[in-house]
Chains A and B, each alone.
Chain A
Amino acid sequence: MDSASIYYLGVTLLLFLVFAAIVARTYSRKQKAKGEQPKYRMMDDDYPSDEKKGGRDVRRK
Chain B
Amino acid sequence: MDFLATPEIWHKLQEHFGVASRPLTDDDFYDPAWETILQHFDVDCRVISYDQFCAPPASVLDAGAKVDWWNALSRSTPNRMWRQELPDGASKDIWGHVIRVVNNPTGAYEEFAVWPLAQAASVEDLKRYPWPEPDWWDFSALPKLIAQLDAKGPFHLRFRIGSVFELAWQLRGMQEMLMDLVNQPEIPQYIMERLTDVYVENTRRVLELAGDRLDMVYFYDDVATQQNLMMSARMWRRLIKPLHARIIGVAKQHNIPVMYHCDGAIYPLIGELIEMGVDVLNPVQADAAGMEPQRLKEEFGDKLSFHGGIDIIKTLPKGTPAQVQAEVKERIRVLGNDGGYVLASSHHIQSDTPLANVFAMYDLAIR
To the question of whether A and B form a pair in one complex, the answer is no
Task: Give chain A's interface residues, CB within 8 Å of chain B.
Answer: none
Task: Give chain B's interface residues, CB within 8 Å of chain A.
Answer: none
